[in-house]
Amino acid sequence: MRVAVFGTGYVGLVTGTCLAEVGHRVTCVDIDRDKIEGLKQGRIPIYEPGLEPMVLANHAAGRLDFDTDAEAVVARADVLMIAVGTPPDEDGSADLSHVLAVARTIGRSLSRPAVVANKSTVPVGTADRVRAAIAAELAARGVAVEFEVVSNPEFLKEGAAVNDCMRPDRIIVGSRNPRAVETMKRLYAPFNRSHERVVVMDERSAELTKYAANAMLATKISFMNEMANIAERVGADIEMVRLGIGSDPRIGYHFIYPGAGYGGSCFPKDVQALERTARQHGYRARILDAVEAVNAEQKSKMFELLARHYGGEAGLRGKVVAVWGLAFKPNTDDMREAPSRTLLAQLWAAGARVRAYDPEAMTEARRLFGGREDLVLCDSPEAALAGADALALVTEWKAFWSPDFALLARALGDKVIVDGRNLYPPDEVEAAGLAYYGIGRGRSL
């Protein structure tokens, strides 16, 4: 099939590439000329494991192309996918301007029957607005072309996006139009061989499914962080509690790690947007409010532990803190809403300086913070320790899992570690002569 994908970010580029990998002919369209030029020359704008070789191979094979000229692409596509950003508006609700801009572009160029599939995360009712925007453009042109709008939310995880896309847990197709559903099933047939993964429902349920999934995951994180905060106060170790509750299959081990709060481009904005949607419909979503509030506080947890060690914020003035991990989670270069950003801002506000290292997010860190005098971006974990007084482990990249604690004790002026992911065994760290602070480990009282 011929597919056009609008937006070449984490979702659009990965989806387009995976669809090309299984034999479809895909053109990725973006308004960012530099991105498209770079992609044509084999420069991949994001870090995502396994993506680069797949893009290069499919481009070379002629199945994957990149363009800024939407008109030509729309004219020959069977399926048009919308995968542009839906950032938070000023009031926290989803900004649909990019999605609706694509809808209008489609309406201006559509000349043959097509299915428009929306992969962006959008509030309930957006399929109707996309349909109306396309219809208005067609009417203005005085042409009648058959089209159907399908909600097809995306569930890939940054850091594992290619794998998620090639082996999806489920494929949600939101449409009440049997022909559009059939088209989507044909599109996804190569991903659906071992068992049925396509779940068909109406557009509104599909749109809400995406928010419900992210809200549930964010809730699990905030719940565990709340348990961690209780554990810390009562002298319990949340890591023991985690193992104890995860063993119950109704709870499970997935996604119950306490930490420095959730970040990234999805959970914060999606929880907020769903909360706003609920409010617009006269319902106060109290669980979502609490999930957000707990998370906002949790993002300050690492700073709070450091300040506690130094006898208050004032004790951090002039200190040098090594920060391991800047990306909002491992295996990505994405720093949107990352807990590291909260920690950095708080350290700087307290007069501390930072030496930071991340395996993939250095370019992004340079873009965000380049030129600051109180930040040194280092090219290895060891370099970040040079001259540092304390270490803050923010992102659980594998490279940080097994440090030499004796070496850390020699390198760190004040011999203190704040472990924002509970990676390290407190006894071992302390045996090496370091002070250890984890998340929700009552022993750190």
- What positions carry a catalytic annotation? 266
96 is in an annotated binding site: no
DSSP state at residue 235: T
Q: Which of 27, 86, 175, 277 binds ligand NAD (CB under 6 A)?
A: 86
Stretch of residues binding ligand NAD (CB under 6 A), selected from 153-161, 337-345, 347-355, 394-402: 153-161
Q: Which of 9, 330, 420, 426 binds ligand NAD (CB under 6 A)?
A: 9
Nearest to 208 by CA among 122, 266, 148: 122
Q: Pick between residue 156 and residue 432 the one whose CB is nearest to ligand NAD.
A: 156
Q: Pick between residue 7 and residue 426 the one whose CB is nearest to ligand NAD.
A: 7
The closest residue (CB) to ligand NAD is: 9
Centre a 10 Å sphere on the Cβ of residue 155 and count the other Cβ atoms it contains. 18
263 is in an annotated binding site: yes
137 is in an annotated binding site: no
Query: What is the rounded CA–CA span in Å between residue 445 and residue 442?
Result: 6
Q: Pick between residue 328 and residue 400 the one whose CB is nearest to ligand NAD.
A: 328
Per CB under 6 A, does 359 bind ligand NAD? Answer: no
Per CB under 6 A, does 342 bind ligand NAD? Answer: no
Query: Closest distance between ligand NAD and the C-beta of residue 104, in Å?
Result: 9
Long-range contacts of 378-385, Cβ-Cβ distance < 8 Å, separation of 24 or more: 381/324, 381/357, 382/411, 383/355, 383/357, 384/322, 384/323, 384/324, 384/355, 384/356, 384/357, 385/322, 385/355, 385/411, 385/412
Per CB under 6 A, does 71 bind ligand NAD? Answer: no
Stretch of residues binding ligand NAD (CB under 6 A), selected from 81-89, 131-139, 186-194, 299-307: 81-89
Per CB under 6 A, does 154 bind ligand NAD? Answer: yes
Classify the phi-psi angles of 343: left when phi > 0, otherwise alpha if psi is within -120 to 50, otherwise beta: alpha
269 is in an annotated binding site: yes
| DSSP β-bridge partners for residue 357 | 324
State residue 263 phi and psi, 5-degree precision. -140, -150
Stretch of residues binding ligand NAD (CB under 6 A), selected from 5-13, 218-226, 253-261, 310-318: 5-13
65 is in an annotated binding site: no
Q: Scanning residues 252 to 271, which ones bind ligand NAD (CB under 6 A)?
A: 265-266
State residue 147 phi and psi, 5-degree precision. -150, 160
Per CB under 6 A, does 274 bind ligand NAD? Answer: no
Nearest to 154 by CA among 205, 104, 83: 83
DSSP state at residue 443: G
- What's the number of CA atoms in the CB half-sphere (13 Å) around residue 343? 37
Stretch of residues binding ligand NAD (CB under 6 A), selected from 31-39, 47-55, 166-174, 297-305: 31-39
Q: Which of 1, 22, 32, 297 binds ligand NAD (CB under 6 A)?
A: 32
Give Cβ neighbours of residue 32 (< 8 Å, ≥ 6 apart): 8
Per CB under 6 A, does 277 bind ligand NAD? Answer: no
Q: Scanning residues 10 to 29, which ones bind ligand NAD (CB under 6 A)?
A: 10-12, 29
301 is in an annotated binding site: no
Per CB under 6 A, does 152 bind ligand NAD? Answer: no
Q: Pick between residue 17 and residue 422 the one whose CB is nearest to ligand NAD.
A: 17
Amino acid at residue number 241: V
Q: Pick between residue 295 and residue 422 the one whose CB is nearest to ligand NAD.
A: 295
Q: Which residue has the tokens 């760290």?
A: 429
Nearest to 389 by CA among 367, 416, 371: 416
Q: Scanning residues 155 to 174, which ones bind ligand NAD (CB under 6 A)?
A: 156, 158
Query: What is the rounded CA–CA span in Å between residue 388 and residue 321?
Result: 5
State residue 322 phi and psi, 5-degree precision. -80, 130
Q: Sheet harboring 25-29: ordered strands across?
A: 64-67, 25-29, 2-6, 79-82, 114-118, 147-151, 171-174, 198-201
Query: Closest distance between ligand NAD and the C-beta of residue 272, in Å?
Result: 12
Per CB under 6 A, does 101 bind ligand NAD? Answer: yes
Nearest to 74 by CA among 18, 150, 147: 147
Query: Closest distance between ligand NAD and the C-beta of residue 122, in Å?
Result: 7
Contact present, 191 and 152 (Cβ < 8 Å): no
> What is the contact mask toward ligand NAD in residues 211 to 250, using x (rule: CB under 6 A)?
----------------------------------------
Per CB under 6 A, does 84 bind ligand NAD? Answer: yes
Residues in binding site for substrate: 155-158, 210, 255-259, 263, 329
Which residues of this chain interact with ligand NAD, rule CB under 6 A?
Answer: 6-12, 29-32, 35, 83-86, 98, 101-102, 119-121, 154, 156, 158, 265-266
Residues in binding site for NAD(+): 30, 35, 86, 121, 158, 269, 336
Residues in binding site: 30, 35, 86, 121, 155-158, 210, 255-259, 263, 269, 329, 336
